[in-house]
Amino acid sequence: MAKRETDAGRQKKGKPNQYKGETNVEHFVTEDERRTRWIMEGIPMLTAEYPDSEESDPDSEEPEGTSLARLEHVANIYVKQLARQIHRCCSDKKWTGYQKRVACEQLVGLAFLSTESMNRLAKEFPEPFREIAEELPHFPCLFPAHTEDLRSLQKIMWDEFNLGKRHTLKLHAEPGRKTFSKKTWVNALLIDLIQLVHKSAQHEAELDPGLDYGLDTFREVIYHVPLSPDPQNTKRWLDVIWKLLLVGIPEPEKHPQLRKLGQHPSRTERAHFGERKTSRIIKDAVGKNAKHQTAGYVRAAIKEALGKYLVRMLRKEQSDK
């Protein structure tokens, strides 16, 4: 009932219904939309209890019918505790190499169990796993040593599960199209900065989980601004990316690689995203001190160039029907 009501509400407001059962989407979903749907539809499922009639353990500390949310929470805690214990063991010089191997085998075995269980479920219920894989840059799998098995695994990940097809970045190229290269240093820099935006938002959430002080700069972008080719969205993301870049490189106009981006003749004559610079924009970019005009022009041009590279990396909105 809740799903029908929320879908009807969206259609009444004239917004496309992006939560249909198909694997493709018609627009980029914000974090707010994800959270709303998760609350409306996800929580009832996670809190439902399914008695484990197939393999009942009378000595188990967990009663039959434990909810998915409870099981996932407990498993998370145990895995993190196990990883910390293994880290302590491997850092302790009193243990031999073989003893450290035995400790690490515990986590490897657990990873095998988890991944094999997921693969078995994915074969039986491919659709929900495909929807998850399409939005991710990585997916858990058992990496084979034999090259022929590797090709088979790639086919499954790319062709059957469409890994990365609907990811924000253009990771999964359409037939006949090319995606961006991570070997290009500008692309690699932008990927690192995008990840840093997410980490900064996570740090803000840890400092103020209850939003007592309102949304911070990074959380506001993560929650409310989809990373999409839309000019307004890209501009907001570029602003926070630029903010983080200046933390690490306070004078980008003096950086040997970034400076080359800003010295392109045409870029010093245009505003962001191809618009012509007005005298006001130029004045804001270079500052009032005339002797800093060259550096100001180069800095503004560097930011514009990064914006162009960012747009090229983003997946365009499509409705593949």
Segment 251-268 mean pLDDT: 78
Model pLDDT, residue 115: 94
Band of residue 30 on the pLDDT scale cut at 50, 70, 90: low
Segment 233-257 mean pLDDT: 92
More confident: 233 or 286: 233
Average pLDDT of the chain, as a whole number: 77
Question: Which among 241, 226, 181 has a CA at the least distance from the CA of 32?
Answer: 226
Model pLDDT, residue 42: 77
Percent of the chain with pLDDT over 90: 33
Q: Which amino acid is residue 282, in one-letter code?
A: I
Band of residue 264 on the pLDDT scale cut at 50, 70, 90: low
Band of residue 319 on the pLDDT scale cut at 50, 70, 90: very low
What is residue 270's three-state secondary structure? strand
Compute the distance between CA of residue 314 and CA of residue 68 in angstroms, rounded to an integer.
34
Model pLDDT, residue 20: 33
Q: Which of 59-68, 83-92, 158-167, 273-282 has the highest mean pLDDT?
A: 83-92
Q: Which of 16-30, 42-56, 173-187, 189-203 has the highest mean pLDDT?
A: 189-203
Band of residue 117 on the pLDDT scale cut at 50, 70, 90: very high
**Residue 93 pLDDT > 90, yes or no?**
yes
Model pLDDT, residue 128: 92
Question: Which among 184, 200, 193, 226 has a CA at the least distance from the CA of 315?
Answer: 226
Q: What's the whole-model pTM score?
A: 0.62
Mutual orientation of helices 185-207 and 293-313 as an angle, nearest 10°? 90
Model pLDDT, residue 7: 42
Lowest mean pLDDT among 46-55, 249-258, 278-287: 278-287
Q: What is the pLDDT of residues 134-165, one digit of tens each?
A: 888 889 999 998 888 888 888 889 888 888 88
- Residue 319: C-alpha distances to residues 27, 131, 288, 311, 316 (Å): 8, 15, 48, 19, 10
Segment 67-75 mean pLDDT: 88
Model pLDDT, residue 218: 87
Q: What is the pLDDT of residues 171-224, one digit of tens each?
A: 876 666 677 888 889 999 999 999 999 899 888 888 887 666 656 678 888 888
CB burial class (10 A; 0-12, 13-18, 19+) of residue 139? middle
Element (H, E) at 206: helix 185-207
Q: Where are the domains of the chain?
A: 67-124, 127-167, 185-313
Compute the distance between CA of residue 236 and CA of residue 221 in angstroms, rounded to an integer.
7
Segment 48-60 mean pLDDT: 59
